[in-house]
Structure 1
Amino acid sequence: MRPVTEPASAPRPITDRRVLNIALPIALSNVTIPILGAVDTAVVGQMGTAAPIGAVGIGAVVLSAIYWVFGFLRMGTTGLAAQAQGEGNRAEVAAILTRVLMIGIAAGVVLILLQVPLLWAALSLSPASAEVETLARGYMEIRIWSAPAAIAILGITGWLIAQERTRAVLVLQLWMNGINVLLNLWFVLGLGWGVNGVALATFLAEWSGLAMGLYLCRAAFHVPDWRNWSRVFDRVRLLRMARVNSDILIRSLLLEAVFLSFMFLGADFGDVTLAANQVLLQFLYITAYALDGFAFSAEALVGQAAGAGSRRTLRRAVVVVSRWALGTAVVLGLGFWALGPVIVDLMAKNSEVQQAARLYLGWMAVAPVLAVASFLLDGIFTGATRTADMRNMMALSALIYGGAALALVPVFGNHGLWIALLVSFVARGATLAARYPALERAVAD
């Protein structure tokens, strides 16, 4: 019988090529996600009124917030599986896949069962108009039925990243988002189903994405380790997983509270400003997913280095990944500054929404550079499973955001709201940077 745990080999050298081999497929796959959001916005924008744009915006943000509460399943899986990979523990790598699939499916079923109070609570917090609220409710009532697939895909993605199988992640995202875009065009522009058509397209795409994800992980199911139930339900490993995931869960709740409050505070300025903010958030999502390509590289490489106990390799990974992430952030900012007005006009047909979005477009040019440290350090701390630090620094950053919003929004309106959001990114990066020396010290050469 093959050993389930092999001696950890000497860490592979961290090179620019290795970082890019991980980061570029992730960056490409993640960029398709905000592009999908932009297509959603652009498709309903062709209806010529602001309400459908605002409805899809609120509905998508609410469901994304609910699903990304379970972002711990993606992040925690990457850190734990990467460390098991670095230790040479193949059996644990397989058992982690089984655990995350079980958690994802179960969590999605619970959300379906609780959909009535969840959607009521979400919409009761939003001061949007009655028309926007009605459309948003219909959108969410359709999409909630793909919650098990959406959450399980998070775990599959994290598992693949831990093994540096980022090309498989790219295949998964292209498959799922390509289907979504095609169905969007058919259902909304072809059949005239409006906001509900956008929701149905996403529902079908997410279930097809789960099927593709299981296919990409098929090699893990050809060996018995994935169904070694004594290992899958091992108390010590489950407790460690629970600790890591609970820290990330709290961190994710705080982060989503920041974004939800941003959307709801923006709704106070009316449907046009709400729609303009939704258009501009697509720039921020593109930034986040592009920089996450390098953050995910840090998760895999730092996790493997921590599992192998190599501080030198960990430090080298941080340096190389940081260099690429900063360069990417500068390029994104310049691109948004040069092409922002054209992108806005493509996404929104309504002239009032276009004019409102241009008023705040300048913040998108500086956002990538201000946010790069927060994204990259999230990846570093996830890979090292230093999740208590992530939780605590996110709490501090949320408090700083709340103070900035209270001080700036009454004076500067929607400009103040955007400044407060950018301040939260800077605060997250600075506080995590202060904790980085302790992370290095915990990894013994």
Structure 2
Amino acid sequence: ALGLWLARHVLGQARRAAGLWARDRLTRLARVNGDIMIRSVLLQGCMTSFLFLGAGQGDVPLAANQVLLQFVALTAYALDGFAFAAESLVGQAVGARRPDRVRRASLLTSAWGLGGAVVMGLVFIVAGGAIIDLLTTSDAVRQAARIYLPWLALAPLIGVAGWMLDGIFIGATLTRDMRNAMIRSVAVFAACVLILPPFWGNHGLWAALMALNLARAVTMLRRYPNAEAAAA
């Protein structure tokens, strides 16, 4: 409602308003947002299932996982900043019909994202124990969380490609490719959670989560040429 009120001057101009409500534009808008919603629901479903499956490992590993997922959230929020930059710059390049600028924007933002991932990984290695101590007062949970802390040091490095490609694909409106990549990655995650935890316990769950992010990166990277083709 607020958005419509802010756009009231444009909406009051019949010619421009007619273009806003054109069926093809609304259909495309719905399709793009639908793809993003499906991708987000699947990703959230994987994170939720990670917690539920962690409950089967016992109360202490479950609590440790909950603490360590705050590291994952922190990583996502930090690296999303670079992904948002990629989304904006790639979108501008596609609008300008400049494939060369799509590549330059993708490489530049991804380089910054990788640098941020390295810094975060180092911070987690050096200060991860102190951060854990701030998040919980339970000695048992603190000790368990430290056991799985190396996975969190790897998480930014493994996840950065997926986050950056999300931004690139949204900027190029390749949301269908992004959605399909997520579906395939969920299949990889499902296979890993069926196979690894029975043999490797909670480490297997963390390995499955890393496999999810790695699969996202690989499946989207294969479709990256479509981003440059969208600007041709």
Match of 1:387 among 166, 175, 182: 175
Query: Gaps (5+ residues) in structure 2?
Result: none
Q: Give the direction of change, closer, same or farther, for the CA distance of 1:363–1:226 in structure 2 (3 Å limit).
A: farther
Q: CA deviation at 1:232?
A: 4.4
Match of 2:37 among 249, 273, 280: 249
Q: Which amino acid aligns with 2:124?
A: F
CA–CA distance in 2 between the matches of 1:227 and 1:260? 45
CA–CA distance in 2 between the matches of 1:409 and 1:226? 56
Secondary structure of 1:272's aligned partner: helix
CA–CA distance in 2 between the matches of 1:287 and 1:272? 23
Q: Which amino acid aligns with 1:221?
A: L
Structure 2 equivalent of residue 265 of structure 1: 53
Structure 1 equivalent of residue 144 of structure 2: 356
1:275 aligned onto 2:60:
no
CA deviations over 1:243-298 (Å, ceiling 9, x no partner) = 11111122112111211110110112233222111110011111111111110000
1:224 aligned onto 2:9:
yes
Query: Gaps (5+ residues) in structure 1?
Result: 1-96, 99-219
Q: Give the direction of change, closer, same or farther, for the CA distance of 1:386–1:345 in structure 2 (3 Å limit).
A: same
CA–CA distance in 2 between the matches of 1:226 and 1:349? 55
Secondary structure of 1:360's aligned partner: helix
Structure 2 equivalent of residue 425 of structure 1: 213
- For the 8 Å contact 2:122–2:153, the answer to whether it is kept is yes
CA–CA distance in 2 between the matches of 1:222 and 1:386? 27
Structure 2 equivalent of residue 377 of structure 1: 165
The equivalences for 1:45-444 within 5 A come to 97-98=3-4, 221=6, 224-225=9-10, 230-444=18-232
Q: Which amino acid aligns with 2:144?
A: A
Q: CA deviation at 1:227?
A: 5.8
CA deviations over 1:27-70 (Å, ceiling 9, x no partner) = xxxxxxxxxxxxxxxxxxxxxxxxxxxxxxxxxxxxxxxxxxxx
Q: CA deviation at 1:223?
A: 6.3
CA deviations over 1:203-259 (Å, ceiling 9, x no partner) = xxxxxxxxxxxxxxxxx9276015665444332211111111111122112111211
CA–CA distance in 2 between the matches of 1:226 and 1:253? 33
CA–CA distance in 1 between the matches of 2:110 and 2:62? 34
Q: Give the direction of change, closer, same or farther, for the CA distance of 1:368–1:237 in structure 2 (3 Å limit).
A: same
Q: Structure 2 length normalisation: TM-score?
A: 0.93
Q: Which amino acid aligns with 1:255?
A: L
Q: CA deviation at 1:441?
A: 1.7
